Structure 1
Amino acid sequence: MSAPRAAPPPEPDVTDAQRALVASVAEAAERPTLPPAARERYACAQALVLDQGRAWTPVPLGADLEPHRGVPGGCYTFAARLADAVPGLVYVEGYACPQSGAGWAIPHAWVGRLADGAALDPTWSAPGTAYYGVPLTAPFRRSAPRAPGTAALLVEMLPRDVRRHGLPPGAVAR
C-alpha cells in the first residue's frame, strides 16, 4: 500500500475553510477505521479523495437550477440527477463543510463545473463553506457498485477493488 497523499500545499486563493476541510480529511486519512489489507493502495475513502480530488469553490445554486433542488440527506441521489439533467455539470463525491460546521469533513455529493471549479450543492439550503472531492464520469457513476443501503460510491464504503487498485481509467472526469 502506498502512503496516503499528504494534504495538498496551500494555494494563494484557497480559503481558511478549504484549508480546514483538507486538514480534517487528511487527519482522518492518517487514522483509517479499518486497517489496510496487504497491497491496498488506499486504506480509506479520505486517502482516495485527497489523492484524486480537488478543491471546489462554493457557489449558490442559480434560479435556473432550483427546480432540481433536493432534500438534505439525499445528496448522492440529487447530485446524480442534476449532473444527468444539465450539460456541463459533473457529479462530485467527497467531503464538504456546511455553513454551521467550520472544519467538519462531512461525506457529501454535489455537482461541479469543471471549467471554473464551482461547487453547486442541490441539497443544502445555502452553499457550504468548503468542498473537496472527486469528479466522476457518468459511465463510471452508473456502473460502479454501491455498498448496501447507500447511494454513495466512494465516501460511505470504499469498494474493495478501489481500495486495492484505485479508480479505473475513465472514472475521474477531466
Structure 2
Amino acid sequence: MTAPAATPEERLVGLVHELAGRQEQHLGEHPGWAHQTREHLLLALGRLFTIAPRSHRPIGMPDHRCYENAALYASGTPGLMYTEGVALVNTGNGRHIHLSHAWAVRPDGTVIEPTWDEPGRAYFGLPITDPVLWPLNADGLLSAFDKPLPPLRDGLPTGALGAVGRRSVRS
C-alpha cells in the first residue's frame, strides 16, 4: 500500500526541514544563538496560511518587490499583517520550488498575495505585528544579509509575532 501524496503544505515544510538539516551539516552551530538559521527560525515559530480566492489579489503592485508590496499593502489596509517566509510555487509539469517571499494576511490567516498573479500552492512564514519591522522600501526582514542576524542571534522582540495562521505538525 502506498502512502498518500503529501499536501503542498507538507511538501513546503518538508523542504524547509531538509534545507535546515543541510545547513546544520555545512555551517556548523552558533552556540548561544536563539535560531541557527532562517530555516530554524521558521520551523520554530512559523505558521501555515490559507490561500485566498483569486479575486482577493490587490491590483497594481509591481513584480519582484514582494517584501515592499506586502508591507505597503498591509500598512494601507486595516486588519492586515505583513508576513514573511517561504511559499511553494508551481513551476509547471507538476514540479514545485520554494521561494523566499512576503505576503499579507487577514486576522483569520488568509493570504492576500500582492505580488504574484497566481498565488503560491502553500505559504509558511512569520506574521509580524510590529510595523516598525515591516520593510516598506527594502529587502525583507529575513532575506537581506545583515537583517536576519539579530533575530537569529537574539530572537524576535517580544510580541513581534501575530497569533494568526496554523502551526505545522512538523515544525
For the 8 Å contact 1:137–1:171, the answer to whether it is kept is yes
**Of the candidates 69, 78, 86, which is equivalent to residue 69 of structure 2?**
78
Residue among 155, 167, 170 paired with 1:166: 155
Ranked by relative contact order (alpha carbons within 8 Å, sequence separation 6 or more), the top structure is 2
Q: Does 1:28 pair with 2:28?
A: no
The unaligned stretches of length 5 or more in structure 2 are 1-5, 164-171
Task: Tell me the alpha carbon deviations over residues 46-103 of structure 1, each in whole angstroms, 9 at most, x when there is no partner.
Answer: 110111111111113536x534x42331000000000001111100000001232744
Q: Structure 1: how far apart are the matches of 2:148 and 2:158?
A: 16
Q: Are 1:110 and 2:103 matched, yes or no?
A: yes
TM value normalised by structure 2: 0.78
Superposed displacement of residue 105, structure 1: 1.9
Partner of 2:52: 59
Match of 2:112 in 1: 120
SS of 1:66's equivalent?
A: coil
Partner of 2:142: 154
Q: Matched residues in 1 for 2:132 and 2:156: separation?
A: 9
Superposition deviation, residue 132 in structure 1:
0.3
Deviations, residues 19-40 of structure 1 (Å, cap 9, x unaligned): 0000001111112263332211
Equivalent of 1:37, from 30, 42, 45?
30
Unaligned runs of 5+ in 1: 1-14, 145-149
- State the match for 2:123 in structure 1: 131
- Residue 39 to residue 71, structure 1, CA distance change in 2 (3 Å): same
C-alpha distance in 1, partners of 2:17/2:144?
Answer: 16
CA contact (8 A) 1:73 1:123 kept: yes
Whether contact under 8 Å (1:99, 1:127) holds in the other structure is no
Q: What letter matches 2:47 in structure 1?
A: R
Q: Classify the secondary structure of the residue corresponding to 1:127.
A: coil
What SS does the aligned partner of 2:159 have? coil
Within the candidate set 90, 95, 98, 1:99 is matched to 90
CA RMSD across the alignment: 2.3
Could you tell me the TM-score, scaled by structure 1's length? 0.77
Question: Is contact 1:93–1:155 with CA below 8 Å preserved after alignment?
Answer: no
Q: Percent identity at matched positions?
A: 34
Cα-to-partner distance string for 1:133-162 (whole Å, 9 max, x where unaligned): 0000133414x8xxxxx5110144453221
Rounded to whole Å, the distance in 1 between the matches of 2:158 and 2:90 is 35
